[in-house]
Amino acid sequence: MERRDYPKLFVLILPAALVFAAFFILPMARLAVVGGTGEDGLAAYASMVTTPRHFESMVATVLLSVGVTAAALAIATVAGLFLVRNRFPGRETLVSLLTFPLAFPGVVIGFMVILLAGRQGLVGTVTQALGADKLVFAYSMSGLFVGYLYFSIPRVILTIMAAAEKLDPALEEAARSLGASSWRVVRDVILPALKPGLIASGAICFATSMGAFGTAFTLATNIDVLPMTIYTEFTLNANIAGAASLSIILGLVTWAALFIARSLSGSTVAASG
């Protein structure tokens, strides 16, 4: 790079810098400042620990996100491997249908969960017809879990399929020739090969579940996940400083999860989302 190229370079980078400043740095800085200038001052940042409701909300959100991530990884790994290794009529259609949820906003997914497990839902009707109690779980953490799982699976499946297609079949055959059982092949060959993809897509799942709001808002206003708590603090309690500090903490936790995943997998996590 020649020195005389610098002005040209500056002009080229200016749009990116402006966008970055306008939509990232400034709001984040403002949010951080607002979070610390409420009635409680900087203590607002400690509210995550000091206010039981905030703490419970945080724990519930993390647990939900971890559960969704684990379930999505398990289901998508099995399904993704199956789809890569088997050719059957309708396979292409199935794959494109599986990626369909990526196109839906959270509100639509919440609506679908209600249609499935709400008071008038399919699950309830079927369980009632079978003589059992009417099963309704749409308006709780379980409903949220189903909804998040629904839109997490496609992300993982696509990553797993991409990784599994690159896997040399000879690796598996070599392990088998050395006496490895199917389970050992999975443990020693397939999972290690999928590991970067699992970490990457798992991190995306976790981050998305931590921050998702539309689905929760559609299902019920009293589900205690962190984005809902932030919304409640902000709109109902007018506790702007509290909402801002919670937002910053939510952002930090999610960013930390992505950062850890990125350093574990040694690749660009965000690029695979």
Q: Which residues bind another protein (CB under 8 A)?
A: 168, 170-171, 173-181, 184, 188-189, 192-193
Burial string for 17-46 (b: 16+ CB within 10 Å, else e) reads eeeeeeeeeeeeeebbebbbebebeeebbe
| Cβ distance to another protein smaller for residue 90 or 179 | 179
- Cβ at position 199, least distance to another protein in Å: 14
- Cβ at position 192, least distance to another protein in Å: 4
- Cβ at position 181, least distance to another protein in Å: 6
- Cβ at position 271, least distance to another protein in Å: 21
Is 179 in a helix, a strand, or coil? coil
Cα 50–33–241 angle (5° rounding)? 45
| Cβ distance to another protein smaller for residue 8 or 195 | 195
Q: Residue 42: CB partners within 8 Å, gap ≥ 6?
A: 36
| Cβ distance to another protein smaller for residue 176 or 262 | 176
| Cβ distance to another protein smaller for residue 153 or 200 | 200
- Of 149, 150, 148, 125, nearest to 135 by C-alpha is 125
- Residue identified by tokens 């949820």 is 101
